[in-house]
């Protein structure tokens, strides 16, 4: 069983779709980010970055609970856990992960390198 700590943002919707498509059992725990629930100590224990989505897989590696955050990390974990939605060869998996990392790095650089971007948030 997976506990999904979520709200309705696009990154969270990706996790909903993946879990549904993979046929995994899960329970949703709504997090009211507008009410700042993500800053409560019990949530910060799950994700010190105070962001959704977060999952806790109670049947993680070795049968032990595993908590993950950041949508990309969660999607890769779920894909590896189920054997679904990943390329068949390790080289293609490495390429997919490298592309994702490059996209994240580029987006982060744009955000921090452009002082005018902050005005449009």
Q: Is there a contact between 68 and 55 (Cβ–Cβ < 8 Å)?
A: yes
Q: What pLDDT does residue 86 have?
A: 82
60 and 75, same structural domain? yes
67 and 119, same structural domain? no
Q: What pLDDT does residue 37 have?
A: 97
Q: Of residues 113 and 50, which shows the higher confidence score?
A: 50
Band (pLDDT 50/70/90 cuts) for residue 118 is very low
Predicted confidence (pLDDT) at residue 21 exceeds the cutoff of 50? yes
Residues 85-90, mean pLDDT to the nearest whole number: 76
| Cα–Cα distance list, 23 to 4, 73, 87 (Å) | 14, 19, 19
Q: Is there a contact between 67 and 55 (Cβ–Cβ < 8 Å)?
A: yes
Instruction: Please write the tens of the pLDDT for every residue from 55-85.
Output: 999 999 999 999 999 998 999 899 999 999 8
- The domain that contains 66 carries what CATH number? 3.40.30.10
Range with the poorest average pLDDT among 3-7, 69-73, 79-83, 91-95:
91-95
79 and 91, same structural domain? no
92 and 75, same structural domain? no
Q: What is the DSSP letter of 43?
A: H
- DSSP readout, 67-103? EEESHHHHHHHHHHHHT-SS-SSHHHHHHHHHHHHHH
26 and 57, same structural domain? yes
Q: Which residue has the tokens 């894909």?
A: 79
106 and 75, same structural domain? no
99 and 44, same structural domain? no
Three-state secondary structure call for residue 27: strand
- Element of type H or E holding 57: strand 54-57
74 and 104, same structural domain? no
Q: What is the pTM of this model?
A: 0.75
11 and 50, same structural domain? yes
91 and 44, same structural domain? no
- Element of type H or E holding 14: helix 10-22
Quote the domain boundaries for residue 116.
87-121
Residues 4-10, mean pLDDT to the nearest whole number: 94
Q: What pLDDT does residue 102 have?
A: 56
Band (pLDDT 50/70/90 cuts) for residue 97 is low
67 and 35, same structural domain? yes
Residue 58 tokens read as 């109670």
73 and 22, same structural domain? yes
């Amino acid at each position: 069983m997976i506990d999904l700590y979520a709200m309705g943002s696009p990154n969270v919707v990706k996790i909903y779709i993946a879990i549904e498509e993979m046929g995994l059992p899960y329970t949703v725990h709504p997090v009211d980010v507008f009410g700042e629930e993500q800053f409560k100590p019990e949530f910060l224990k799950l994700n010190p970055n105070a962001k959704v989505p977060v999952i806790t897989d109670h049947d993680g590696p070795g049968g032990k609970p595993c908590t993950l955050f950041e949508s990309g990390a969660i999607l890769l974990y779920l894909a590896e856990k189920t054997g679904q939605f990943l390329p068949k060869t390790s080289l293609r998996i490495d390429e997919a992960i490298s592309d994702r990392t490059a996209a994240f790095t580029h987006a982060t650089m744009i955000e921090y390198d452009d002082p005018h971007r902050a005005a449009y948030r």
